[in-house]
Homo-oligomer: A and B are copies of this chain.
Amino acid sequence: MYNPTSFSHISPQSDSPALSMNYCSHCGTAVTLCIPQGDSLPRHVCPACGTIHYQNPKVVVGAIPEWGDSVLLCRRAIEPRHGFWTLPSGFMENRETTAEAAARETLEEACARVEISRLFALIDVPHISQVHLVYRARLLDLDFAPGSESLEVRLFREQDIPWDEIAFRSITMALRLYYADRSRGDYGFHVDTIPAPTGEHYTPPPDPPFV
């Protein structure tokens, strides 16, 4: 799934807030911001039809496609982080499981067929309201090729991973955890958090629900 805000937590310039919510998507009336009865946070509420427009975190699912002692990475053909390397990953779609999402993204971005194995990591990215899930996966054949969102797709051994050209911090985190586990010969399941970027060039997005 193409979504220009995917994994935007790494690239401060792409941390642009979503467009503001001004109108009810059901009836078209201008919404108001208020705390509904029994709730504790402000929501966009339609004064005409009463719809409460909740905004919730999104799930990003990726795979670590394994072939022998190599893993498959994709070089991004789209922003953010055009030209940088990533694991196949993207926003989960409605009506699929997390494992199905991992297999679909691998097929879309690397034209590669995988058998999904274990869930390897859950990485919270709260400052952009995302939860990243990374599955291990077994590459079924070597007939991979760049999908429309990739410039290049390649197998890498650990010593060849382009650490300085990885697109996103959650991908770096997942790969570091993966190789640490592999060196011990025991793959675990990991839960970790990516903190908000810091630095003079970083402007945090406005507080929800204004994004």
Residues of A near any B CB (own CB < 8 A):
1-3, 19-28, 30-31, 36, 38-41, 44, 49, 51, 53-59, 91-100, 108, 118-119, 122, 124, 126-127, 129, 131, 133, 148-149, 189, 191, 193, 207-209, 211
Contact = CB atoms under 8 A, between A and B. Distances in A.
A168 to B, nearest CB: 17
26 contacts: A1-B39, A2-B39, A3-B54, A19-B49, A19-B51, A22-B25, A22-B26, A24-B25, A25-B25, A25-B44, A28-B30, A56-B91, A56-B92, A57-B59, A57-B94, A57-B96, A93-B208, A94-B211, A95-B126, A95-B208, A96-B126, A98-B191, A118-B191, A119-B189, A119-B191, A122-B133
A21 B28 contact: no
Contacts of A149: 38
What 6 A-B pairs come out closest when comparing CB atoms? Answer: A94-B208, A97-B124, A23-B28, A94-B129, A19-B26, A25-B25
Q: Please tell me how many copies of the chain the complex holds.
A: 2
A53 to B, nearest CB: 7
Given A1-B41, A208-B95, A25 B27 contact: no
A69 B1 CA distance: 45
A170 to B, nearest CB: 13
Nearest to A192: B97
A207 B25 contact: no
Given A22-B26, A23-B23, A127 B95 contact: yes
Contacts of A44: 25
